[in-house]
């Protein structure tokens, strides 16, 4: 059995935050990746309150792991690095 996210029915629930994040990056709507991550995190936490799709749990776990890298002792430089990368730096 081959799984494909293209055929999954979770766009309205879990996928909205990812679609919004990538759209904002493509449009250079956020100042940098740190700002984009914070907006994405906020969206996931809000949607996660009502979305019980398995993929949402995965997205929330992933964002929590990223937060650890950004905030934990010894990893603070990662957060500073994200602040220094403009979203316009993304290749199209």
pLDDT tens-digit map of 36-64: 888 988 999 999 888 888 888 888 998 88
Distance from C-alpha of 63 to C-alpha of 85, rounded to nearest angstrom = 18
Q: pTM for this one?
A: 0.68
Give residue limits of the domains in the chain.
16-89
pLDDT > 90 in the chain, percent: 4
Question: Is the CB of residue 23 less than 8 Å from the CB of residue 77?
Answer: no
What pLDDT sits at residue 43?
92
Higher-confidence position of 61 and 92:
61
Average pLDDT score over the chain: 76
What pLDDT sits at residue 38?
86
């Amino acid at each position: 059995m081959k799984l494909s996210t293209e055929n999954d029915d979770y766009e309205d629930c879990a996928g909205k935050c990812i679609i919004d994040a990538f759209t904002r990056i493509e449009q250079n709507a956020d100042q940098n990746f740190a700002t984009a991550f914070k907006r994405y995190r906020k969206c996931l936490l809000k949607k996660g309150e009502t979305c019980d799709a398995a993929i949402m749990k995965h997205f929330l776990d992933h964002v929590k792991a990223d937060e650890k890298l950004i905030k934990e002792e010894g990893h603070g430089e990662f957060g500073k690095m994200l602040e220094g990368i403009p979203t316009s730096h993304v290749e199209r």
